[in-house]
Amino acid sequence: MAQVSVEDLLAQASALRNNIDYLQRLANDVADALASIASAKEAINALKNMSGDTLIAADKRGNLMLKLGSIDSSKVLVHLGLNYYAEVTSEKAEDILTKREQELKAALERINNELAKNVQAYNEITSILQSIEEEARRAAAQQRR
């Protein structure tokens, strides 16, 4: 059985903690992208049912509202990535967004699986470190007697 120093365990725990933090931020970013796609799909459906003047939020929190007249919903601009957009039918836009949504859901699942592995490894190492600390306390108490 290979021996591992306490310093090595501390370094591994620190690296795992950093990786856990990174994966959590990444998962939050992907979840935010999924929410944005859901909003875009809702907007497409709302466009199909619009008639007359409509109020549209110019930002996520509704700080600015735009009053728009009738909108031609037969064509929309959909983001393709790298600041490229394509003018497509609303149905094609929904297809593109659904495909991106599926890709992001798969990515989020992979991130969450990796996150779970990192958390498990981190918990195992911290448990070992706590055991070492308790053993050191017991040994110190024994020496004082």
| Residues 76 and 90: beta-carbon distance below 8 Å | yes
End-to-end CA separation in angstroms for the chain = 33
Answer yes or no: is 61 within a domain. no
Q: Round the CA-based radius of gyration of the chain to a whole number and report it.
A: 26
Indicate if the alpha-carbon torsion angle 42, 48, 52, 58 is positive or negative. Answer: positive
Answer yes or no: is 17 within a domain. yes
Answer yes or no: is 38 within a domain. yes
Question: pLDDT tens, 21-70?
Answer: 999 999 999 999 999 999 999 888 888 777 777 777 777 777 888 887 77
Answer yes or no: is 55 within a domain. no
Which CATH number belongs to the domain containing residue 103 in this structure? 1.10.287.370
Indicate if the alpha-carbon torsion angle 96, 92, 79, 44 is positive or negative. Answer: negative
Percentage of residues in the chain having pLDDT higher than 70: 99
